[in-house]
Amino acid sequence: MTTKRPRVRLLASVTSEAEARLAAAHGADIIDCKEPSAGALGALPHDVVAAIRRAVPGHIPVSATIGDLPSDPELIGRAARAMAKTGCDIVKIGFFPGGDARATVRHLGAGLAQETQLVAVLLADAPFDRGLVPALAEARFAGVMLDTAAKDGRTLLDHRRPAELAQFVAEAQALGLMTGLAGSLRLEQIPQLLTLAPDVLGFRGALCRARDRRQALDAAAFAAVRRAIPITPTPAGSDTGLELEVTP
């Protein structure tokens, strides 16, 4: 008997309420609030994130990044709690080199992770602690993604071999974590990325005019990415591999 793999979700990073509405209309599975001009995981103002959550249909999860911050438990904790108060469904936390990532994960696990869905973002173009993945699961994070810090034209696949990415996905999923891959991903890379079976593929530049993440979303570019990621209806009660709680 052939086991059907759950479909891969399309995460679209947006900078405004208008972009969020466009992304929702063109089939984004997750709307991600991010400010490209403020770094790899630049944070949008809290009022903008709140407006995006109100503008997007309730069944579509909205995530939000908290900025490119060092791994300091108190600093990350304050930023994550403040972002959670916007009403977003998921708070994304980047783990950049330096600081104490393990202590930060423990701090969040003892508090915010009990009430808010947290997704860790590890950086594929920098050394990262693979042992952090089990720690995230123990701390009850909802998921973990791989992304890139440097937005210099290189993509995730320039920094990590497909076999490494497949291992990362498999290990995290085995621990019950949602998995995501991002990092200047291109339209032509989607077929290969789909074979790695992540739960989410994240995009910004590929959805924008001239593939420039700092420009506005482009409807034609968005439609091309959406067509490349199959949409397969999930039967009620089946395991989607993506357990996100969203208030309708």
* Active-site residue, 92 included: yes
- CB count, 10 Å around CB of 218? 17
Q: 9-14 and 143-147 as β-strands: parallel, antiparallel, unpaired? A: unpaired
Give the whole-angstrom CA distance, residue 95 versus residue 72: 10
- CB count, 10 Å around CB of 66? 22
* Active-site residue, 34 included: yes
Tokens of 179: 């998995």
Tokens of 146: 């791989």
Catalytic residue among 4, 34, 85, 151: 34
Catalytic residue among 4, 85, 92, 151: 92
What would the DSSP string read from start to end of the chain?
-PPPPPPPEEEEEESSHHHHHHHHHTT-SEEEE--GGG-TTPPPPHHHHHHHHHHS-TTS-EEEE--S--B-HHHHHHHHHHHHTTT-SEEEEE--SSB-HHHHHHHHHTTGGGTSEEEEEEETTS---TTHHHHHHHTT-SEEEEE-S--SS--HHHHS-HHHHHHHHHHHHHTT-EEEE-SS--GGGHHHHHTT--SEEEESGGGBGGG-TTSPB-HHHHHHHHHHS---PPPTT---S-------
Catalytically annotated residues: 34, 92
